[in-house]
């Protein structure tokens, strides 16, 4: 079965944004293929980097892909093109998967509480770049990963899922990052499942199961 054959009106259409190797994207795609996200499908994979490895994998899988190069462009102009592409592809839920761009307020407003990001630390600890190395150098004993809604502040929106990873005596920042990445791949699927289930709602910053 191809990815396109999953298409059905009941499906949440995901728009994946990536800039690099795309292992989180691949984990999401594999979860859909394996039936772990039965009501989600990938509508489009967009990259701001033309030679991103994740984009090449998306093409090999027969997914719809689009390159929208960001270098040298004003953020608002580039974001307007990305928003237009997401809309043209009927995207309901945007998944940032190693997308190395800050989103403009206009982008965040275009998909209110419909943009997810994954970050390799237990937020609010260690936001920003090289979070695994930040955590390792700080000497924490436990770190992990966070999937959260994107708001206008960096690595700040309401938390959907977190998974913890113990820091071992034998770790360096690379071995730690590898173990965190494995948890990221589980966390992203879990977070998408929660959002598409319609069984959770935001109460302030808290994303909680509704008791209908």
Positions that interact with ligand GRF (CB under 6 A): 18, 20-24, 54, 97-98, 118-120, 181, 184
CA distance 161 to 205: 13
Q: Is 119 a catalytic residue?
A: yes
- Whether omega for the bond prior to residue 124 falls within 30 degrees of 0, making it cis, is yes
| Complex with ligand GRF: residue 80 or 140, whichever CB lies closer | 140
What whole-number distance in Å separates Cα of residue 80 and Cα of residue 90?
A: 15
Q: Rounded to whole angstroms, how far apart are CA atoms 79 and 73?
A: 10
- Closest to ligand GRF by CB, 98 or 157: 98
Which of residues 158 and 181 has its CB atom nearest to ligand GRF in the complex?
181
User: Can you read off the two tokens belonging to residue 51?
Assistant: 């030679």
Q: Which residue is nearest to ligand GRF (CB)?
A: 98
Closest CB 9 distance from ligand GRF, rounded Å: 29
Active-site hit among 78, 119, 148, 185: 119
Smallest distance from the beta carbon of 199 to ligand GRF, in angstroms? 25
Q: How far is the CB of 130 from ligand GRF (least distance, A)?
A: 10
Task: State the CB neighbour count (10 A cutoff) for residue 130.
Answer: 14
SS3 call for 118: strand
- Closer residue to ligand GRF in complex, CB, 80/173: 173
For the bound state, the minimum distance from the C-beta of residue 133 to ligand GRF, rounded and expressed in Å, comes to: 11
**116, containing H or E segment:** strand 115-119
Give the helix, strand, coil percentages of the chain, each rounded to 5. Answer: 35, 25, 40
By annotation, the residues acting in catalysis are 119
């Amino acid at each position: 079965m191809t990815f396109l054959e999953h298409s059905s009106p009941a499906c949440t259409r995901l728009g994946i944004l990536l800039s690099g190797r795309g292992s989180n994207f691949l984990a999401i795609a594999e979860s859909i293929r394996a039936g772990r996200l039965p009501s989600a499908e990938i509508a489009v994979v967009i990259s701001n980097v033309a030679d991103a490895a994740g984009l090449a994998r998306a093409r090999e899988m027969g997914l719809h892909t689009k390159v929208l190069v960001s270098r040298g462009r004003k953020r608002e102009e580039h974001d307007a093109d990305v928003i237009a592409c997401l809309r043209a592809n009927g995207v309901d839920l945007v998944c940032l998967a190693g997308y190395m761009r800050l989103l403009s307020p206009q982008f965040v407003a275009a998909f209110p509480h419909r943009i997810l990001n994954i970050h390799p630390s237990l937020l609010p600890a260690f936001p920003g770049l090289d979070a695994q190395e930040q955590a390792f150098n700080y000497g924490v004993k436990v770190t992990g990963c966070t999937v959260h809604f994107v708001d206008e502040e960096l690595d700040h929106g309401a938390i959907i899922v977190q998974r913890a990873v113990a820091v071992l005596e034998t770790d360096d920042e690379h071995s730690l990052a590898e173990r965190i990445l494995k948890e990221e791949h589980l966390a992203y699927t879990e977070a998408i499942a929660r959002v598409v289930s319609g069984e959770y709602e935001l109460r302030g910053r808290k994303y909680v199961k509704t008791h209908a």
